[in-house]
Homo-oligomer: A and B are copies of this chain.
Amino acid sequence: MITAAVLLIGDELLSGRTQDANLNYIANRCQERGIVLAECRVVPDTEDAIVEAIRALSARNTYVFTTGGIGSTHDDITAASVAKAFNKPLVVHPEALKLLEEYYGDNINDARRRMARAPEGAALHSKMVFQIENVFIMAGIPTVMQGMLDALLPVLQQDSPILSVTVKAYVLENELADELNELHLNTPKEVTIGSYPFGEAGKIKGTNLVARSRDAQKLAIVRDQLQALVDRKLG
């Protein structure tokens, strides 16, 4: 199984200043390419927190995607922290520096040159994504991150896409739960079922029943069973 973890880096996510949009985008792209997104962590711009998370996530996933902390200011410490996590020095990546110098021309300055620093031995992918071991260092700005990830995905391993179907039921979860639990016990292990109430506090309107699988045929059978369960409740 190909798995990935996401590490979102930035004080702004934990102070409430910024609503993250990167996890959801990465999650959807992984799903399409059959990569199981196994976990996500959000950490502040502090070296210890980043180092600990990188080590933990890298050790047990095929890939780790980081977002944020790659600019040129004092709070951009992702590259240095990832280097430390792997006990590597932070060095200037010659090819990255060349690209920055070509891109900025006469406007190159020290701050821009700092963005060419990477853990020693890092590989450089297109859109300036550095890879060290199984960790890919990406930007925090969503549209920039999306461009980086889209360019990166074709070079990563993939598997059969994880498909999902939703049966929207205007029935409360509590009224479906017993039958759903029974159906779940008889569902092949290749299909997972999730149950998600929709509506607002005090006005819950119903339940989205979501089945997921790489096996389209088994998924279709479970979808029909879920629909039949809902129809029985409503009929």
Q: A residues engaging B (CB < 8 A)?
A: 10-21, 23-31, 37-45, 49, 71-76, 109-112, 114-115, 140-141, 143-144, 146-147, 162, 164, 173-178, 180-181, 184-185, 192-201, 204, 210, 212
B31 in contact with A184 (CB, 8 Å): no
Asked, given contacts A15-B164, A75-B193, whether A110 binds B178 with beta carbons under 8 Å apart, the answer is yes
Q: How far is the CA of A147 from the CA of B198 in the complex (A)?
A: 16
Residues of chain B contacted by A173 (CB below 8 angstroms): 71-73, 111
A199 (CB) vs chain B CBs: closest residue: B141
Asked, given contacts A16-B27, A109-B174, whether A181 binds B74 with beta carbons under 8 Å apart, the answer is yes
Q: Is the interface of A mostly helix, strand, loop or mixed?
A: mixed
A145 (CB) vs chain B CBs: closest residue: B201
A41 in contact with B40 (CB, 8 Å): yes
B71 in contact with A42 (CB, 8 Å): no
A75 in contact with B195 (CB, 8 Å): yes
A201 (CB) vs chain B CBs: closest residue: B143
Q: How far is the CA of A18 from the CA of B146 in the complex (A)?
A: 18
B74 in contact with A180 (CB, 8 Å): yes
